[in-house]
Amino acid sequence: MFWRQDINKAVYKKSNSITHTQFQPSTASVNYTKKLLTSTDASERQSIGQSLLDEMSGSLSIPPPQLNVNDKRQNHSLKNGKLMRKTYATYKAGKITISNKTAVRESVIAPKTFMDTLIHEFMHHYDYEVLKFPSSLHTAGFYYRLGDIMKKLIG
């Protein structure tokens, strides 16, 4: 257990120190982003989102993660009728799953929130595939890298 803890400390420090990505957007990736920022339909988001992930991964010479956008509400828990937690999406072994509806009201996720979530999950993929981290931690560096990609895609 302590050995694993030491590894996580080392990964945490390394992750924190990397603030930019190697990603350089293509015209296609910027166009897919623009389309996603106007899309609300789950199947359309699935198709455009997968195309964006394919394009981004290709530019980094890594295998693309597989995207699944389900038209269900977010996994969540309530306590005394109040929302306690919700899960926007998951990343597991090259697979990204995103719920297209909000946890309580079951409204469609706003396009910007969907885009932010997609890139957040892609950042986990980037950590494993590009940076070769044994785990992908939510460090300040992780969020700087996330911002780096968003800035490159949206401006």
C-alpha atoms less than 13 angstroms from C-alpha of 139 in its C-beta half-sphere: 20
Please say whether the dihedral angle defined by the alpha carbons of residues 50, 52, 54 and 56, taken in this order, is positive or negative.
negative
The share of the chain scoring above pLDDT 70, in percent, equals 84
- Compute the Cα dihedral for 29, 88, 113, 140 and give only its sign: negative
Place of tokens 């931690």: 137
Q: What is the mean pLDDT of residues 49-76?
A: 90
Reply yes or no on whether the pLDDT at 60 is more than 60. Answer: yes
The residues, ordered by sequence, that sit 6+ positions from 145 with a Cβ below 8 Å of its Cβ are 18, 19, 20, 21, 123, 126
Asked if pLDDT for residue 2 goes beyond 50, the answer is no
Q: What is the mean pLDDT of residues 50-74?
A: 93
pTM: 0.87
Q: What is residue 86's predicted lDDT score, i.e. its pLDDT?
A: 54
Q: Higher model confidence: residue 4 or residue 137? A: 137
Q: What is the pLDDT of residues 18-46, one digit of tens each?
A: 999 999 999 999 999 999 999 999 999 99
Q: Where are the domains of the chain?
A: 25-154
pLDDT digits (tens, 9 = 90+) for 73-122: 656 555 566 555 555 677 888 999 999 987 667 788 999 999 999 999 99
pLDDT confidence of residue 141: 97
